[in-house]
């Protein structure tokens, strides 16, 4: 099962390595991890995408809670939530491909944020599946470079992760 | 008044009422050692290797209720402590390790005696800190003691750069500490405890299974009250020995890989397991799939939620401090508890298992190691502190020395660290001056920290070293004999020193005992005539002796090999 774990953690040096170290030491996998300070700069919010059975997820959340720097842990995917991922993709844009790339970006509601004579950089936001399908829709030979932020997510409505 | 960081460190230790610090000086802690020199409240115990400092601090804690403290220098000083920190971590021992670090401006530049202390120790500490500002020093040390001793206890490392110990600031030691990210649960959930009572009432084949958590939360007496009230059989893990009086009728012995026939069968076939401060680890329940074949209901009391339902699915989890939860449980039981009448039949079954006498062993021409431990028990009146190293001798000590009191059995259960025995005995003696302390060890383990004989001389520690010398890595040899067609790969210890002369060269008393009839007199002599000496008793034992019962790795708890099968 795919799970998105959100963590509020003290914004201190080494906090990230405690979380990453826990996952590797206990054999849990991290598919993506994003982290940045929250509106309260003393706290960081981390979002981890992982896969595991219910038992494994129970252990992951318990073990994360055990870390002294961790303030709160929530499995976002347990209930209604929204998730987004940002991708920047650099493509070759010459000749007839130049117009085609522009069209594809429009279809996927991407934005072209850098233009040169031969390349575009397209910014695309959405859930991971949307980013995957955008990549699949392009001619692989035209993709020069991609970079993705990994998933971040937030609970819907009254589900609030805050101290 | 402004004082230096080094003085702050010492003042913090004084505030924490630390009597002893086990350590070894070096470049980055010289300021701290200078501050130590200028006072006499905190006494420093100079060891001969940093590993021993941490082990001794660990045992100081195990044998008392206090937090053990070690002080070492940066780089190799720190890396030498890692085994000791990991040992304490695996057994949840509260300990604070203060480490020197190179000056702040040198960090990351591969300076002399620099290592990434926080990174190296991170996976084997409860928490660690790098102090970056002298103003944070006191509060960090306060946090370290708080974190080490509360919740599920564990070692905490504080890494202190040398320049921080030279800078000055006002000293203000906080009385209490609040951390928004760290608030361990103490009280158990009352609804869950009520549910547990209901299940205990219905139990027809109950067992109380307890571990180190009972010792750590000083709940041994409460456990005894509970067991008496319930009239259930009690088994202890290796870490839990002494949590319940071993000479009591309701005690059915240690369980697990080398547990008794009755304890392992009772654990396997019980319909209700009351687990208290124990974690169902691989050495305890054997193959989890085999264990899962029997239907049972499990009530699990533990302060660490992550220990619950980790290896065995639990029906009634109760997160809380064992002593507090037992208080609640006892209160509820006072409301009138009736053991199910069918439990009498269960006791009959247990007595039948017990009658197999699974710890029986044959005497031989050689000294049997079991016999030495039995005699040690007799000679010390069952009231000694016994430390052990790791291997066959550890299991013999656990099986044949009947611990009636908690904190008397001091060994490395989780990590299984050879070499702890002698430094453990040192730590015990500092925490319990004048106590009778025996270190049950083997000729291989003892050599891993043998240099501490020198520390023992310096501080006149009258430890009795019970060296069960079979000239082999006994437990390794046992596995090779049983599972590797007797290919004894590297399990012989050749070129052993003359331990008698070795002990004497350090200024101690040495004895070699080679005949069974000499065992008891030698022990009596060591514990009476040489009461105030360290005595190294080198028992030349039967090299073929093996530990039974045994549940081979991967086997089920009831698939025991008994001595009578061999």
Three-class DSSP category at B46? strand
Q: Is B170 a catalytic residue?
A: no
H/E stretch holding B348: helix B343-354
Q: Do B182 and A68 touch (CB under 8 A)?
A: yes
Active site residue B112: yes
Q: What CA–CA distance (Å, rounded) separates B512 from B530?
A: 15
- A159 to chain B nearest CA, in Å? 20
Contact residues on chain A for B304, CB-CB shorter than 8 A: 66
The string of DSSP letters for B423-457 reads HHHHHHHHHSTT--EEEEEETTTGGGSTTHHHHHH
For the record, the structure tokens of B185 come out as 């649960």
pLDDT tier, B256 (very low <50, low <70, confident <90, very high otherwise): very high
A163 chain-B contacts, CB cut-off 8 A:
180
User: How does pLDDT run across B58-83, given as a tens digit for each residue?
Assistant: 999 999 989 999 999 999 999 999 99
Give yes or no: B113 in active site.
yes
> Distance between CA A155 and CA A82 in Å, rounded?
6
Comparing CA positions, the residue from B89, B96, B152 lying closest to residue B124 is B89
Identify whether B472 is a catalytic site residue. no
Q: Which residue has the tokens 């103490």?
A: B186
Q: What b/e readout covers B400-414, taking b as 16+ CB neighbours within 10 angstroms?
A: bbbbbebbbbbbbbb
First to last CA, chain A: 28
CB nearest to A58's CB, from B118, B147, B309: B309
Judge whether B179 is closer than 8 Å to chain A, CB to CB.
yes
**Residues ≥6 apart with Cβ < 8 Å to B528:** none
**Kind and range of the H or E run holding B5:** helix B5-15
pTM: 0.96
Which is more confident, A122 or B565?
A122
Task: Give the distance from residue A63's alpha carbon to the nearest chain B alpha carbon, in angstroms.
Answer: 6
Query: Is residue B162 annotated as part of the catalytic site, yes or no?
Result: yes
ipTM here: 0.93
Q: Is A148 helix (H, G, I), strand (E, B) or coil?
A: strand
Rounded alpha-carbon distances, angstroms, from residue B187 to A67, B8, B94, B153, B302? 20, 35, 20, 16, 11
Q: With an 8 Å Cβ cutoff, is A163 touching chain B?
A: yes
Judged by CB atoms within 8 Å, which residues 67-96 of A form the interface with B? 68-71
Which residues from chain A sit within 8 angstroms of residue B101, using beta carbons?
none
Would you state the pLDDT for residue B335? Answer: 82
pLDDT digits (tens, 9 = 90+) for A11-22: 998 999 999 999
CA B399 to CA B255: how far, in whole Å?
A: 10
A42-87 pLDDT, tens digit per residue, is: 999 999 999 999 999 999 999 999 999 999 999 999 999 999 999 9
Q: What is the DSSP letter of B368?
A: P
Q: Is the minimum CB–CB distance between A13 and chain B shorter than 8 Å?
A: yes
Query: For B337-383, what is each residue's pLDDT tens digit?
Result: 888 999 999 999 999 999 999 999 999 899 999 999 999 999 999 99
C-alpha B260/C-alpha A30 separation (Å) is 42
Burial B481-495 (b: 16+ CB within 10 A, else e): eeeeeeeeeebebee
Grouping H, G, I as helix, E, B as strand and the rest as coil, residue A13 is coil
Cβ distance of A62 and B126 shorter than 8 Å: no
């Amino acid at each position: 099962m795919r799970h998105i774990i959100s963590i509020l953690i003290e914004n201190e040096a080494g906090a990230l390595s405690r979380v990453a170290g826990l996952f590797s030491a206990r054999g849990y996998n991290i598919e993506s991890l994003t982290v940045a300070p929250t509106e309260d700069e003393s706290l960081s919010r981390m979002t981890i995408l992982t896969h595991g059975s219910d038992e494994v997820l129970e252990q992951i959340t318990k073990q994360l809670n055990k870390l002294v720097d961790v303030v709160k842990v929530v499995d976002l995917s347990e209930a209604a939530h929204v998730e987004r991922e940002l991708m920047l993709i650099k493509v070759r844009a010459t000749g007839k491909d130049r117009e085609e790339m522009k069209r594809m970006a429009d279809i996927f509601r991407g934005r072209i944020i850098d233009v040169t004579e031969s390349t575009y950089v397209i910014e695309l936001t959405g859930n991971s599946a949307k980013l995957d399908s955008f990549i699949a829709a392009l001619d692989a030979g035209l993709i020069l470079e991609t970079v993705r932020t990994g998933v971040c997510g937030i609970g819907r409505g009254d589900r609030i992760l805050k101290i | 008044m402004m004082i230096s960081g080094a003085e702050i460190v010492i003042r913090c230790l004084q505030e924490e009422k630390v009597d002893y610090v086990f350590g070894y000086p070096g470049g980055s802690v010289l300021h701290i050692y200078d501050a130590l020199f200028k006072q006499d409240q905190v006494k420093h115990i100079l060891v001969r290797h940093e590993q021993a400092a941490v082990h001794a601090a660990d045992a100081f804690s195990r044998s008392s209720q206090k937090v053990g403290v070690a002080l070492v220098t940066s780089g190799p000083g720190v890396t030498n402590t890692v085994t000791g920190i990991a040992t304490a971590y695996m057994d949840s021992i509260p300990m604070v390790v203060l480490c020197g670090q190179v000056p702040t401006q040198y960090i990351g530049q591969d300076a002399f005696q620099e290592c990434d202390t926080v990174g190296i120790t991170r996976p084997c500490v409860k928490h660690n800190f790098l102090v970056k500002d002298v103003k944070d020093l006191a509060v960090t040390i306060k946090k370290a003691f708080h974190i080490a001793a509360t919740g599920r206890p564990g070692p905490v490392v504080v890494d202190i750069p040398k320049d921080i110990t030279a800078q000055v600031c006002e000293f203000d030691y906080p009385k209490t500490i609040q951390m928004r990210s760290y608030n361990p649960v103490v009280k158990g959930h009352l609804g869950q405890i009520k549910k547990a009572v209901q299940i205990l009432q219905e139990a027809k084949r109950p067992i109380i299974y307890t571990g180190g958590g009972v010792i750590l939360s000083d709940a041994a007496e409460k456990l005894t009250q509970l067991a008496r009230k319930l009239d259930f059989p009690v088994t202890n893990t290796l870490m839990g020995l002494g949590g319940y009086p071993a000479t009591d009728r309701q005690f059915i012995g240690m369980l697990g890989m080398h547990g008794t026939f009755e304890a392992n069968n009772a654990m396997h076939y019980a319909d209700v397991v009351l687990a208290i401060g124990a974690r169902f680890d691989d050495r305890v329940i054997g193959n989890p799939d085999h264990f899962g074949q029997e239907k049972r209901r499990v009530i699990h009391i533990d302060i660490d939620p992550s220990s619950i339902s980790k290896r065995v699915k639990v029906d009634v989890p109760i997160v809380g401090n064992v002593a507090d939860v037992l208080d609640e449980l006892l209160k509820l039981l006072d409301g009138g508890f009736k053991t199910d009448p069918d439990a009498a039949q269960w006791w009959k079954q247990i007595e039948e298992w017990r009658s197999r006498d699974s710890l029986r062993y044959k005497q031989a021409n050689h000294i049997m190691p079991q016999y030495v431990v039995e005699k040690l028990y007799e000679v010390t009146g069952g009231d000694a502190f016994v430390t052990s190293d790791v291997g066959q001798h550890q299991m013999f000590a656990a099986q044949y020395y009947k611990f009636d009191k908690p904190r008397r059995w001091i060994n490395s259960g989780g990590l299984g660290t050879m070499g702890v025995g002698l430094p453990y005995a040192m730590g015990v003696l500092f925490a319990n001056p004048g106590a009778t302390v025996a270190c049950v060890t083997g000729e291989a383990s003892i050599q891993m920290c043998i240099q501490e004989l020198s520390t023992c001389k310096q501080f006149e520690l009258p430890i009795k070293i019970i060296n069960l010398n079979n000239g082999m890595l006994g437990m390794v040899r046992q596995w090779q004999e049983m599972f590797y067609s007797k290919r004894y790969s590297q399990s012989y210890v050749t070129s052993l020193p003359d331990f008698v002369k070795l002990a004497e060269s350090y200024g101690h008393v040495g004895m070699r005992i080679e005949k069974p009839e000499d065992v008891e007199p030698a022990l009596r002599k060591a514990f009476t005539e040489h009461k105030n000496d360290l005595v190294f008793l080198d028992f030349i034992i039967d090299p073929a002796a093996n530990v039974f019962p045994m549940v081979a790795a991967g086997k089920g708890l009831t698939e025991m090999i008994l001595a009578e099968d061999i």
